[in-house]
Structure 1
């Protein structure tokens, strides 16, 4: 059976036609496979300005949501068995390749005489995009807090208080002790908490409620609105309540959600605004 494929590129310089492959889409007309390189996307953060980077990131994530369901982790292989994405065809992808001037571009679709399956998809991905990240026990046992502790804490520990247990001795309106990842101040309070959105909903809801209670206690102390980060990873859509809670936080004007692979956003804010430890 012939399989159609198209390479997705990120345009770095339009004038010089500089572009880098970021993902691949394959289809046999009934199944669609899509994957992008999370490693390359992370590298682009140091190359593209923040607006262009966010366009790339959001577009790739929208393809994830539209094309299929998750087989591994949030940036691994996606496939779809029902032909609901009728735009995935030779004619329309050819149109995108010719006429799209976006920062993300599709290559002209080509056919290869192979069956569409996970092994063949992996071979195409590694040929055109990047090394294919296999699912391992380490990924299965992935801990969001450990990653934040490793990637973020060493870069901000001189500017904030790290991993503190706060009580009513610290904030009068805090009615129960809470462990906080970091807290600082720069005229307004700045705090962040890592939250695992894959937890059972009861425990997840409790974690979020406790953090929100802390932010209210902080603001009652000084009557200043603060900058509050929730660090985590988008949960699986099949965990409906968790996903809905994540969406509320992501769209909130009160809390700012930051993916744990993009903690540089927090580091940049803390440095740019000269944040200092909240407690001596």
Structure 2
């Protein structure tokens, strides 16, 4: 079987076909190599909703799992690592996916190349198509997602990172929520980052998670972390930003002052526990 490669992308806008390349698959149907860029994946927070990002993360992990235990003799073809389904990666299947799977993630049409499936070849292709490809242009403001990822590594001894909470943790939670930073001292301490230069509906979804927990943890310390959106281009978002700063019950933090959150954790001995 011929060797082929295909680029896996996250679909940002199905209508326009806008995508961000995330990873690369190199395979001959028997041996496969796959990897994706963490830095590219981190850009998705400001571009798509949380559920779509969660699905993409699962999809990427599924590909890795499939490659680890691939069975080229099975007839049923799927790339999702689900119980009871056989798994396979070959050129016809990836070709099919490149045409009919364009909603959240997509594969490019497989390109046949006369090479062996080797790490050195894969690294060269990955560098060419993923690492060096032009990233989505950002404005002059601080990239919240990049800052957020860097900040997480500094406070992980004090906070649980991107903690998923359900009614098992707090019975009054109507729906599961995801909180960027979650810790506890004498009271609960939470912090949530908000990217306000994205679709207002995504912002509403992000805020609903924070709002739910805010109402439950009445005596806790809560940090709302963001920066002012550009007023002319993002009028609704800017109005939301103005109103948020007037709210009581939690502390508004501009990302330029984010060290306040880590300093609070040190001073109050915040621990990464529920």
The normalised TM-score by structure 1 is: 0.48
TM-score (norm 2): 0.49
